[in-house]
Structure 1
Amino acid sequence: MIARRTVVKKDLLGDEGYVHKVDAIGDPLQTIEAVVHSSALAKAVERISPRPEQPKGGRPPYPTEVMVRVLVVKRLHGLSDEQTEFQLLDRRSFRRFCGLEHSRNIPDRTTIWNFENRIGVDGVSALFAELDRQIRARGLEARAGQIVVATLVPAPKQHFTREEKAILDQDAMPAEWKPAKRRQKDVDARWTKKHGKSHHGYKFTVSVDRKHKFIRTWVPDTASVHDSQHLEAALDEWNTSAEIYADKGYVGAEREERLREQGYRPQIQRKAKQGKPLSACQERRNRRIAKVRARVEHVFAAITQWGGKRIRTIGQARATFAMSMMVLVYNMHRLAFLMA
């Protein structure tokens, strides 16, 4: 018996109807489009990395604003370069956000890769600075103190022999590694232990303002570096409150004294010593600080919704780029939420 294929009646206005339905439900990309001035972001990038000149007769490169939007789509949905190309071809909402709805050509995976290499970490820092300016221009200054926390960012696990590890520890490369193999080996990522479990990858320390929950500053590093090493570097000097909230990993009498001399009021949880438990007063203080610090978990929960903190890159430079894009897209998403 031959199965009959169901034929759906064609509707010449069906495509337009789909667009109206998407807008009625709410397109997250359009909420970002409404509050973020992408042209200003593109100008900030071009000051750092100007658009390259194309030889006569060749196809001109895509506008910087288009490529910045493509990177936002990629990070917001946790896509690889290959999947970003496919989704741009397949999803109209992506093309509309990127300004490619009526374009015959779509940036391919190589174009996306080359653009990331062109702007680098400095380009993302310029994007972040411009977005932060737009956030503050809307009256969303950093207020009520800042919450400093370090989080692990998993990276692809690497496998080395004992001999290779010994060579890498000396900042050298094994002689038998061919160039192709070197490109696939992440010699920057490190292992660390947290709560008895081993983790491989990187770490970035962020400062989140207590009032609006924007990430105001961030410091990237490898996973093996202790959380406390980047507290001072991650502080946001523009917060209107002097209070700093942090967990037990940052405790230290010398550090707290140094912060007070700089005009800060450290609110760092106390850590019990062996044979000397915390007093009832210290326990209450820890709980009070924990209630404030819980706000930072909302930040990482939002990032987890679009693919989590895992990265697919090789090396510290590209990991820093990926982590910086996480911060940038989160702040865009947060701004769209607050403005809505």
Structure 2
Amino acid sequence: KDRLSFMRFLGLTLADRVPDANSIWNFREALTRATQGGVPATEALFRRFEAQLRSAGFIAMGGQIVDATVVAAPKQRNTEGEKQALREGRIPEDRARKPAKLRQKEFANGTPMVRETLANDARWTVKQGKAKPGLDGAPRIAIAIPVHGYKNHVGIDRRHGLIRTWTATDAARHDGAELPGLLDRTNTGSAVRADTAYRPAKNEDHLARAGFTSRIHRRKPKGRPMPKHVSRANAVKSEVRARVEHVFARQKGPMGLVVRTIGLARATVKIGLANLVYNMRRMVWLAGAAPA
């Protein structure tokens, strides 16, 4: 009962019992398994709230912005002895004595797979970045940062900044591969904005056939400098595309989005609920910011 606002949100009074951690876990497990009309329950909830957004006048407008972010998950740490046992196709002795720990490994026909990968479907990927500039003013050095977890792929509308479409995958999934499933055909604008990862020829063809206008960043030609007109066009696109970063900053900052469960199904529920809650909070802000 540390937060009365939480209790009010759940419809609880001071006389009611607050659900403990096990009750919340069981509810989330039921949500993971549940479907509505063949649609996963989390997606069905998201669609129902999307309908409420439209009823309130927050229709998708101005085109859409697509991007993805990595949602961190716990890293796997094996001792040298466990690694050797897995390479030999044996179950590590410590895991054999602890069934709960044993379930966290991938298995094939009852034996551990040689490659060491969690059963939680989380994968490694590399995030490109740049080191901080030195005191001498030297140019920043490009660095590659390994990250482990899942990806939250979203499409927002430019006008309201609300998440209209989303999918969850492992972190190794290429961003561009998710573009067709993220396109919102109800948006009143035809422009689709994204970074260069979404610009393979297959995606460009798909956008053209579906009636969308590509505003995806252009790549720098190999071995040649970026043409000035392309650089200027990319800069203009970046000003608009940056809005999707506000979504991820809010989820990873105040909302503290991380995945601590096992399996893509549970991770999808966690990510989907985070997207739903973001839209709820965004709607409250938009309603307050709208003129009376």
TM-score, with length taken from structure 1: 0.68
| Contact kept? 2:176, 2:200, Cα under 8 Å | no
Correspondence list, 1:20-99, <5 A: 89-99=1-11
Find 2:208's aligned residue among 233, 257, 260: 260
Q: CA-to-partner distance for each residue in 1:34-92, whole Å, 9 max, x for gaps?
A: xxxxxxxxxxxxxxxxxxxxxxxxxxxxxxxxxxxxxxxxxxxxxxxxxxxxxxx2222
Change (3 A) 1:165 1:323: farther
**Residue type at the aligned position of 2:100:** A
Residue pairs, 1:100-249, within 5 angstroms: 100-120=12-32, 122-160=40-78, 162=83, 174=91, 177-178=95-96, 179-184=99-104, 186-187=118-119, 188-195=121-128, 196-249=144-197
- The structure number with the bigger radius of gyration is 1
**CA distance in structure 1 between the aligned counterparts of 2:212 and 2:158, rounded to whole angstroms:** 15
Residue identity over aligned pairs, in percent, reads 42
Relative to structure 1, the CA distance from residue 260 to residue 174 in structure 2 (aligned partners, 3 Å threshold; closer, same or farther) is: farther
Query: Could you say what secondary structure the match of 2:242 adopts?
Result: helix
Aligned partner letter, 1:93 = S
- In structure 2, relative to structure 1, the CA distance for the partners of 1:329 and 1:135 (3 Å cut) is same
Any unmatched runs of 5+ in structure 2? Answer: 34-39, 106-117, 129-143
Query: Residue deviations 1:96-150, cap 9 Å, x none?
Result: 2221123332211111111111122622212111111100001111000000001
Q: Distance in 2 between matches of 1:276 and 1:306?
A: 42
Q: Count the aligned residue pairs.
A: 248
**Correspondence 1:275 to 2:223:** yes
Partner of 1:303: 251
- The residue that corresponds to 1:284 in the other structure is 232
Structure 1: 5+ residue runs without aligned partners? 1-88
Deviation readout 1:281-337 (Å, 9 max, x if unpaired): 110110111011011111122223324332222221111111011101000000111
TM-score if structure 2 supplies the norm length?
Answer: 0.79
CA RMSD of aligned residues (A): 2.1
Please tell me the residue identity of whatever aligns with 2:212: Y
Higher strand share: 2
